[in-house]
A and B are shown apart, each in its own frame.
Chain A
Amino acid sequence: MDSTAPLKSKMNDGTKAGLGGEVVSLVKNNIRDYMMYIALICIMAFFTIQTGGGFLQARNIANLVNQAGYVAVMAIGMTIILIICHIDLSVGYVAGFSGAVAAILMTKYHVNEWVAIVIVLIMGLLIGLYQGLLVTKVGVPAFVTTLAGMFIFRGLLNRSLQETGTIIIPNEGFNALSNGFIPDIVSGSSIHVLTMIIGVILVAALIWTEIKTRINKKKYNFEVISMPIFITKLVAISAIIMAIMWVLASYHGIPWTAVIVGIVLIIYNYMLNKTKLGRAIYGIGGNAQAAELSGINVKKVTLFAFASVSVMAALGGILYTSRLQSATPTAGVAFEMDAIASSYIGGVAVSGGVGRVTNTIIGTLVIMSLTNGMNLMNIDISYQYIVKGLIFIIAVAFDVRSRKK
């Protein structure tokens, strides 16, 4: 009996007349997502006030993007792992070790920077396969496998930088990944023109896909939000995109990091939402046994998830090393904490089966805004951890509560 209750109540909400009713039911049904956006806006507003506007300055926004990049790619990989009810604790030191290997390849062996990057990404893949095989073939729980990985890769990181200490990286191309900006097509303009053009293209693409989806949904008589709310939503999102682009354009334009994160995000989002592999990932997270009996090769998909998260860790390591323009023995410490927290704040269910990489990016922005803002305010790192931990646990507690209803 109770099983039909939410079903009927949803139908009632839909028929409730008036815009007000629809807004109320929208908020009710999506409270989890909305809370995340509200939290992000509150955090940003708080820091903007505390820093006298410094937080929202173009330079700081570009900075924030560059700082958040390595966490974002790792969190995207982590999201897949968490959806299928596993975990990877080793990503931090895998990232640190990858950065060190890249630095050694470029400085000691004078490998071309782009070749070095490819080698490091392949190394990440091999690390992921090693851990994934332990989990799928041998049957060691992911928690234990990757905890052992923390030991191993921390050791390898320290070992590889033992003799040289911190390695300064001279390669400009490599360092531009997390410090550079895309070039402009017009020179001498006070505004970065290409950035604005990309902004307009993004907005156009957004409107086009949203309208297409809406028409499709209507064709199949699915519930759609009413026209005024639809338009309000589109205008609001477009305004936010254009505002961000405007801020970036008034500085140096779009950072390369944003381009890399954007490409990774598009690939993962497409994979999760449009392909068989994505369906399999959600299926395994929802009920692995049922997925297996539906013809999904659970072990293969799990192996893929581990390979992918380690490649993302290697990429994160490259971005972080590029950001510092050097490889240091302390790189990678606690990265896994930020990556896991980003995923959960972004709405991955602690019980698995639910999660979106687009929301994970919002989670990353929450975590990294906290870091960035508190740094601007000169708050001690010890307090930063405490604050991040509290926000993390509040978000998950809220998530668990709202899913129960």
Chain B
Amino acid sequence: MSDYILEMKGIVKEFPGVKALNNVNFKVKRGEIHCLVGENGAGKSTLMKVLSGVYPYGTYTGDIVYDGEVQKFKRIADSEGRGIVIIYQELALVPELSLYENIFFGHEIMKGGAIDWNETIVQGKAMLDKVGLRADPSMKVKELGVGNQQLVEIAKALSKNVKLLILDEPTASLNEDDSQNLLRLIKELKSQGVSCIMISHKLREITAIADTITVLRDGATICSLDATERQIEEAEIIKHMVGREMDNIYPKREKKEPGDVALELKDWTVFDPSKDREILHHININVKKGEIVGLQGLMGAGRTELALSLFGNPTGYKITSGEFILKGEKVRFKHPKEAIKKGLAYVTEDRKGNGLILMQDIRYNITIANLEELVNGLAINENEEINVANGYKDSINIKAPSIEQKVGNLSGGNQQKVQLAKWMFAKPDVLILDEPTRGIDVGAKYEIYSLMNKLVEQGMSIIMISSELPEVLGMSDRLYVMSEGVIAGELSAEEATEEKVMAMAVRS
């Protein structure tokens, strides 16, 4: 038997007008953790879609040798039948169904022509134990957090007798704790003989876990690094990814004395009627003019909820007590519209889900939150609008043929820039950024950090919510740590370390 469970040789995949994969060679050893890295658009996802049969045999050229045989997968079912299971970044679970129903969804345990529910529950529980999720298998998926949902996905993969597990950015939406948990699990699966391909942007995780690291760039294999022989440095990976050295991940900015308080919360307490419980308890924070304040915490600590409760409560929370003072004025917003008018902006963590209108073009998305400024009588002044959109496209470097390009066709980094342009045009005094660099590549991250620096230098205040600790530490002047709906502590940039933050975040 060959050392390699998978060999992809000379894979070429073309889309109309573009070669997405150009002679890619990719080999995965039996029982290893193989990390696949590259900037957005480098061809990682396309390669995995070729492997899993999403792009069926015949639509690409080259050979897939799996388990010693050339494979001709026509559908996902074909590759799953051979033990190749892919878990996408966007989880494929049915929220309204129970955990055990989800785990065996599509390959139900049958007995005499009917589903054997008892066996399903027992097996489901066993799978959940394997992934270390201590939860009632009959609870609904929607009741779990994203981190635990990810575990359910893996349990589902295990139930299919997976031999080669492919994870597409598994930790992208997880917090530090859940990420570590997941990485531990992957290592454990490895010891049980499951080979694993992991696509990730998080280099720290990669260097910690990978046996081999393959870098793709512009649809071609750049190199394959053996991490079992020597420690691979992040800088080396970045160099291969971008084709140049990156000295600074976080651009410097002039530290200035912060100005007046721009936003202050006193005793802010919020109740969520849909969950029938208080979700934020007596929050006291302040943000000064020209400051970047980090809001750190584990998933479910209440960071996004806090942002939404300030931004006009689109999800229907009840504010039970407390004061919200924006630029010296006591406010309480009933709708995002009022918040925008008073100079508050919120850039959502889920740009595809509730941030952008993907079927509309760049111009539409940039101006939608502040059309007032472009309205002339009844009509929107389209010439002015085009100038505005073109201005942002140039100044923050949105890569697209024109502002008439549909946002859905842009890469993640460029979509994020459109989101930022939209909220810059709304001209807020306080900008809340929720996971501003999630799922975007290193180059675009740097551009977004630089932009944040520029904005605070112009006097804006930024609240930055992020699950990537190094990012929060690298960018913030000050940070608050949240834990289970309370502020667990406050740290200045100088005193903050990853250990201190984590210690506060897990304390409750």
Contacts and interface: CB of A to CB of B under 8 A. Distances in A.
Interface stretch (A63-71, A112-120, A125-133, A283-291): A283-291
A12 B43 CA distance: 20
B378 A3 contact: no
B359 interface: yes
A276 B371 contact: yes
Interface string B13-27: 001111011000000
Contacts of A291: 357, 368
Contacts of B17: 5, 8-9, 11-12
The DSSP consensus for interface residues of chain A is helix
A30 interface: no
A1 B45 contact: yes
Contact of B314 (A4, A5, A286, A292): A292
Contacts of A296: 337, 368
A294 interface: yes
B18 A5 contact: yes
A274 B409 contact: no
A291 B426 CA distance: 14
Given A3-B409, A294-B422, A286 B380 contact: no
A5 B20 contact: yes
B337 A275 contact: no
B219 to A, nearest CB: 7
A4 B364 contact: no
A220 interface: yes
Contacts of B380: 274-276, 279
A4 to B, nearest CB: 6
Interface in B315-350: 335-337, 339-341, 346, 348
B358 interface: yes
Q: Which of B42, B369, B400, B426 has the most CB of A within 10 A?
A: B369
A295 interface: yes
A276 B376 CA distance: 11
B17 to A, nearest CB: 3
A221 B360 contact: no
Contact of A221 (B340, B382, B402): B402
A1 B356 contact: no
Given A4-B411, A279-B368, A294-B336, A289 B405 contact: no
A330 interface: no
A276 B20 CA distance: 39
Interface in A279-333: 279, 282-283, 286-287, 289-297
A223 B314 CA distance: 38
B401 interface: yes
Contact of B18 (A9, A216, A286): A9
A9 B390 contact: no
Interface string B448-467: 00000000000000000000
B409 A7 contact: yes
B46 A1 contact: yes
A383 interface: no
The DSSP consensus for interface residues of chain B is mixed
Given A292-B314, A293-B346, A5 B15 contact: yes
A220 B360 contact: no
A287 B314 contact: no
B401 A292 contact: no
A159 interface: no
Contacts of A354: 359
Nearest to A275: B378
A274 B382 CA distance: 8
Contacts of A293: 311, 314, 336, 346, 348, 354-355
A81 B67 CA distance: 54
B368 A283 contact: yes
A295 B360 contact: no
Nearest to A278: B380
Q: Which of A220, A286, A290, A354 has the most CB of B within 10 A?
A: A290
A153 B42 CA distance: 59
B401 A220 contact: no
A274 B348 contact: no
B410 interface: yes
A286 B357 contact: yes
B110 interface: no
A2 B354 contact: no
B41 interface: yes
A10 B401 contact: yes
A141 B335 CA distance: 22
B69 interface: no
A57 to B, nearest CB: 41
B406 to A, nearest CB: 8
Given A222-B402, A287-B356, A290-B356, A3 B410 contact: yes
B112 interface: no
Interface string A83-120: 00000000000000000000000000000000000000
Contacts of A274: 378-380, 382
B96 interface: no
Nearest to B378: A275
Contacts of B395: none
Given A1-B20, A275-B380, A279-B364, A286 B15 contact: no
A295 B336 contact: yes
B92 interface: no
B41 A1 contact: yes
Interface string A213-230: 000100011110000000
A221 B393 CA distance: 14
B503 interface: no
Contact of A290 (B46, B357, B372, B375): B357
A282 B368 CA distance: 11
Nearest to A353: B359
Contacts of B383: 216
Contacts of A223: 402, 404
Q: Which of A4, A9, A293 has the most CB of B within 10 A?
A: A293
Nearest to B46: A1
Given A1-B20, A276-B371, A294-B422, A283 B409 contact: no
Contacts of A3: 41, 408-411
Contacts of A7: 400-401, 405, 409-410
A8 B355 contact: no
B243 interface: no
Interface in B39-57: 41-46
A6 interface: yes
Interface string A10-35: 11100000000000000000000000
A186 to B, nearest CB: 37
A286 B357 CA distance: 6
Interface in A183-225: 216, 220-223
23 contacts: A1-B41, A1-B46, A2-B15, A4-B41, A4-B411, A5-B16, A7-B405, A7-B409, A10-B401, A216-B383, A222-B402, A222-B404, A223-B402, A275-B375, A275-B378, A279-B371, A282-B364, A283-B360, A287-B353, A290-B354, A293-B311, A294-B369, A295-B337
Top 8 nearest A-B pairs (CB, nearest first) are A9-B17, A5-B15, A289-B354, A286-B357, A295-B337, A274-B379, A1-B46, A9-B16
Interface of A: 1-12, 216, 220-223, 270, 274-276, 279, 282-283, 286-287, 289-297, 353-354
Given A274-B379, A274-B382, A290-B353, 17 more contacts: A1-B219, A3-B41, A4-B409, A5-B17, A6-B16, A10-B401, A223-B402, A270-B379, A275-B378, A275-B379, A279-B380, A282-B357, A283-B364, A290-B348, A294-B368, A295-B369, A297-B335
Interface of B: 15-18, 20-21, 41-46, 219, 311, 314, 335-337, 339-341, 346, 348, 353-360, 364, 368-369, 371-372, 375, 378-380, 382-383, 386, 390, 400-402, 404-405, 408-411, 422, 426
